Structure 1
Amino acid sequence: MGNITGLGSNQYQNQYLANVQLDLSIAAYTKVPLSWHDYDYTPNFNKMYYIMEGEGYLKIGSQEYSPKPGELYILPAGVLQSYGTVSENTLGKYWCHFTSKLVDLQLFDLVNPSSYVVTVKDAKEMKGHFERLIDYAHRDDLTSGLRIRSILLEIISTFIELCDHTRFNMKTSSTFDKMSAVLQYIEDNASHHMTVEELAAIAHFQPNYFIHVFKNFTGLSPIQYINKHRLEKAVHLLTFTNLSISSIADSIGLELAYFSRMFKEHSGYAPSTYRELMLNPQTK
């Protein structure tokens, strides 16, 4: 299985990737014609090809490929590309076009795979992903957008897992640097009162713009994120330490009554009950 290393802190990688904005424009299966070709162009959208049959030619960036059945290709936005046929036995492929943004970056500016192709282990599963993607792309029901996002994430995740090495390049964006500093500040100051103005000043943003960027970055408002972080810290302390409930409330900067009420809303249990359940899981 592949692994992700990076210039950025591992603490935030999952959080960034969980908030990727995906937008599918088209999905289909095609047995390409002999006229299928284009050379040295740079699309502003991502493509994925899952090869089922035939032969052809791909060039992605500086890497040249002769696609084979069972291979899954990522063709990222902003990368120079060429493609074409090489014989009458043309490629048959599932394919899709989509955009993928994280704040002010494309996903594959941030997650840099060492190769643009992987060999799929479970061909039936991958074929099923693309068939369902095509099906939902032609629907207009309430959940089709959610299904499409889920399938795209599954295919992208499979690609990353099968890739030998993927680089998480967080420092390609100054916004990521600024927001990482804000998240680290929240981490270091969980026991103190923090204001939006204070956090915005760290990023050198106006408060209203900061709130917008922060929500795009984390999926939460600053206050929601701070409370979520505090509650996660409280869960750890309740589970792994003998600190009193009052001491835990102090350590995350909340008054005892407010902490108890918020914790129960979050978990369904009062802090003392939650601790007892963790110590005696058979009583759940």
Structure 2
Amino acid sequence: MNPSPPVIKKKEGFNGQKAIVIPRGILHKASSQHPILAGIQLTDIGFYPKAKFHYRERNKGIDQYILLYCVGGKGEVSIEESSYLIGTGSFIVIPAEKVHSYSSNEQQPWTIYWAHFKGDQVPSIVSLLLKRQKSLQGTVQYDESRIKLFDDIYLNLERGYSTDNLCYASMSFWHFLSSFIFEEKFNYALKKNVLNPVEISIDYMQKNLHTTLTLEGIANAVNLSASHFSAIFKEQTGLAPIKYFNQLKVQKACQYIQLTSLRIKEISAALGIDDPYYFSRMFSKIMGISPQDYKFRKEIKKDSKL
């Protein structure tokens, strides 16, 4: 008889997945200056659709809490000596520092929204969850507004790591968590969004990550003088426009490294930077690590998982 094929297990790489890992240096600096972020802060966030063979095991736990929310398929979560079956509508919070593992069902792979978070107020939030649910696991009815709230958090973080974005994501994520703890009270109202020049300029930046933009060019796109635009942009985001644009480029580069097999030189070119050495310096300044080392660490972590 032919031997059975080895079981495939992977932590990421699913068609249609989304993921953002906030640079720890930026997050640490912001949280040390703003009590809102000290209370609760997102560190990672993402969406894995039909994640067949998804598997993670952490024998020592991590210093963040993890929320898994399943909207399709099945899976299983183990926390220390306890096991939980996860199905459509189920959610679970994995406490920090707890040994745990989780895996998607091979026949009916789960579709999950997930987030890593921590902060001074998080233990109290989880205690409240336990008091109301009597368990780390619970079930909620599917609500499109809950998904829209998650997408809103994700999209704002995708627009960069300004203090405003980090605080907004933190406060919105508190609301997102409350939709699981107080499901009967959850009622998200749609808001009319009128884009101001800064928001329009960030849209313009995102659409032109493959090019080189100047301050004058971005200001012209929103019909403002360079000096006036630069002043209101920095007032709202805390960063100069070009520095913000470079952060968006590096965020996109991280996604390329995580989700594609492109070489560093190819990623640099895809972001409109002809000089890969300049790209490497820019990446290192923002991320605190070179793109080569960042890619190497991702590959090592991937290979080290079962």
- TM-score tier by shorter-chain length is 0.3 to 0.5
More strand by share: 1
TM-score normalised over the length of structure 1: 0.44
- Point out the structure with max Rg over C-alpha: 1
Q: Which has the higher contact order (CA 8 A, sep 6+)?
A: 1
